[in-house]
């Protein structure tokens, strides 16, 4: 197990190193820079050169990349150009919205998808199975931003159960609180969970049906176990490996894919921060956020690999999911 974890950690670090280089290189290739955005089209060459020197944009790219990585390794981040605040503080503040939103959306996804997937598999080729598959197909076809608008029109405008957007904060001193914060994230979480639940429900159904056709599952049924008993005692654990793969990718996707939904609901999360930083040409914020999101994806995949080994001990020996 130790060798398995060390291999996965080495892969994680190498992937993050490559990702940082790619992120920096891609942003360097973009035309223009922050100094031109700040000063505008009427800037003189002298004032533009002075601001570029102040922001460090006149230094060689490799030198700026080295300083960026060295700062991250030492726990330091650069100052945002548009906010005049360390990017770590900006991101940490916005993660207080994005992380709870992603966790809520993933929780809704798992509850809906696993329940519906197991229900459809246990009732294969019945009306209930067909209904779940039809509903999941509809969920795949609906864009989450359009579903978000429908949720706002129905629950916020028509029923007026929740606000149409904004985030009151987690502190009661600011007029928010835990319950008010969760209420403001409920509709965005539903909008994000729709497509993910549809995908995971279909995957769960397929994985369970495939395992139920294995010899050990048929033997369990032949020994007198009901379909439900065989499903929960023998089938479910063996069917979880492909389901875990999808769940890991979905959680990473929920964190990295909140830009549109956060803007629809006017939530001050990481997605909205990226949108504003791109508008302001604040590439310092953009590169740190993009690297963070890449790191989230890599870490989630690492956790999924560890869960593989826990679900199926054979993978600790083989060293790779199969």
pLDDT tens readout for residues 28-41: 776 666 677 667 67
pLDDT for res 34: 65
- pTM for this entry: 0.80
The per-residue pLDDT of the chain, averaged, comes to 82
**Averaged pLDDT for residues 189-198:** 89
Report whether 288 contacts 274 (CB < 8 A). Answer: no
Buried b / exposed e over 251-284, threshold 16 CB at 10 Å, is bbbbbbbbbbbbbbbebbbbbbbbeebeebbbbb
pLDDT tens readout for residues 86-107: 999 999 999 999 999 989 999 9
CB atoms < 10 A from the CB of 29, how many?
7
314 has a pLDDT exceeding 70: no
Q: Residue 305 is encoded by which pair of tokens?
A: 């690999």
Chain CA centroid to CA 100, Å: 11
Give the H/E segment covering residue 210: helix 178-212
Q: Residue 57 is encoded by which pair of tokens?
A: 């944009």
What is the DSSP secondary structure assignment for residue 174, as one 8-state letter? Answer: G
Q: How confident is the model at residue 9 (pLDDT cuts 50, 70, 90)?
A: confident
Q: How confident is the model at residue 311 (pLDDT cuts 50, 70, 90)?
A: low
**Averaged pLDDT for residues 42-46:** 78
CATH number of the structural domain 94-318? 1.10.3720.10
**Averaged pLDDT for residues 123-146:** 87
318 has a pLDDT exceeding 60: no
Report whether 167 contacts 267 (CB < 8 A). Answer: yes
Q: How confident is the model at residue 322 (pLDDT cuts 50, 70, 90)?
A: very low
CA dist list (Å): 211 to 13, 123, 156: 35, 15, 43
300 has a pLDDT exceeding 50: yes
Is the model more confident about 278 or about 29? Answer: 278
Q: How confident is the model at residue 143 (pLDDT cuts 50, 70, 90)?
A: confident
pLDDT for res 321: 45
**Averaged pLDDT for residues 177-195:** 88
- For residues 320 and 322, what is the distance between their CA atoms, to the nearest angstrom? 6
pLDDT for res 242: 79
**Closest listed residue to residue 256, CA positions, set 108, 143, 95:** 95
What are the residue ranges spanned by the domains of the chain? Answer: 94-318
pLDDT for res 31: 66
Q: How confident is the model at residue 188 (pLDDT cuts 50, 70, 90)?
A: very high
């Amino acid at each position: 197990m130790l060798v398995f974890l060390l291999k996965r950690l080495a892969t994680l670090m190498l992937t993050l190193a490559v990702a940082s280089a790619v992120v920096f290189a891609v942003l360097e290739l973009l035309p223009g820079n922050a100094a031109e955005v700040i000063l505008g089209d009427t800037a003189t060459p002298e004032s533009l050169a002075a601001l570029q020197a102040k922001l460090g944009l006149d230094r060689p790219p490799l030198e700026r990349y080295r300083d960026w990585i060295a700062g991250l390794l030492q726990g330091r981040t650069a100052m945002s150009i548009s906010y005049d605040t360390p990017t770590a503080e900006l991101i940490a503040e916005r993660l207080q919205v994005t992380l709870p939103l992603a966790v809520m959306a993933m929780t809704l996804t798992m509850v809906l998808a696993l329940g519906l997937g197991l229900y459809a598999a246990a009732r294969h080729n019945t009306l209930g199975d067909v209904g779940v598959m039809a509903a999941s197909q509809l969920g795949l076809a609906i864009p989450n931003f359009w579903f978000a608008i429908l949720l706002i029109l129905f629950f916020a405008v028509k029923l007026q159960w929740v606000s149409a957007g904004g985030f009151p904060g987690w502190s009661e001193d600011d007029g928010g609180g835990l319950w008010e914060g969760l209420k403001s994230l409920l509709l965005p979480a539903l909008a994000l969970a729709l497509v993910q639940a549809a995908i995971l429900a279909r995957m769960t159904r397929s994985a369970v049906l495939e395992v139920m056709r294995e010899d050990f599952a048929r033997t369990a049924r032949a020994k007198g176990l009901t379909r439900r008993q065989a499903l929960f005692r023998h089938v479910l654990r063996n069917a979880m490996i492909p389901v875990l793969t999808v769940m890991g990718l979905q959680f990473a996707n929920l964190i990295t894919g909140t830009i549109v939904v956060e803007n629809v609901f006017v939530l001050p999360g990481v997605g909205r921060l990226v949108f504003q930083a791109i508008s302001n040409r604040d590439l310092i914020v953009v590169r740190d956020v993009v690297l963070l999101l890449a790191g989230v994806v890599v870490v989630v995949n690492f956790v999924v690999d560890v869960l593989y080994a826990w679900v199926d001990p054979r993978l600790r020996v083989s060293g790779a999911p199969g």
